[in-house]
Amino acid sequence: MNSLKMFINPAKILAFALSFVIFCFSTSAIAAPSTSPTLIITEKAQITGGKFSIDTTTPTPLPATTVIRSAKLFLPAGETGTINKIKITGSNGLEFGCQDIKVKDGVDLIKACGGPAVLNAGGAITYVAEGSGFAPELNTSLTVVLSDNF
């Protein structure tokens, strides 16, 4: 009987503490998942004579392994062309690659190329891309925004 009393008193305290926590904090706040900041990498290229070529390396390594789920391409309205090659290399070699993709403004290169890119932490990231056949404007620019969100 004495051991039963020793068990009931801590159970009462635990029940009181639990009901206090539930009363003071909404259940939606307790259940809400924490979200980490979104990674956004913007690359720009100048199109000259309907072609472009870019080869750039990030100045600092990624602090954590990141899955790139979206790579939106932004072009002037009506502009079309072909991405002949995309290569993203990191500390473990080739992280993402794609070739011969017809593009226009708003295309998501991750979807067009068939899947996300996993960029491993710890090393510099090199982004190489080439394109051709851009028209009607032969001299313009394009922007690619890489993001870990959809």
**23 and 47 housed in the same domain:** no
- Is the pTM higher than 0.95? The answer reads no
**133 and 73 housed in the same domain:** yes
- Residue 104 banded pLDDT, cuts 50, 70, 90: very high
Count the domains in the chain.
Answer: 2
> Whole domain around residue 111: which residue ranges?
40-147
- Give the residue-averaged pLDDT of 90-112: 91
**Chain centroid to CA 123:** 17
pLDDT over 60 (residue 111):
yes
d(CA 28, CA 58): 39
Per the structure block, which two tokens stand in for 73? 């391409």
**76 and 125 housed in the same domain:** yes
**78 and 12 housed in the same domain:** no
What pLDDT score was predicted for residue 1? Answer: 56
**50 and 97 housed in the same domain:** yes
What pLDDT score was predicted for residue 12? Answer: 55
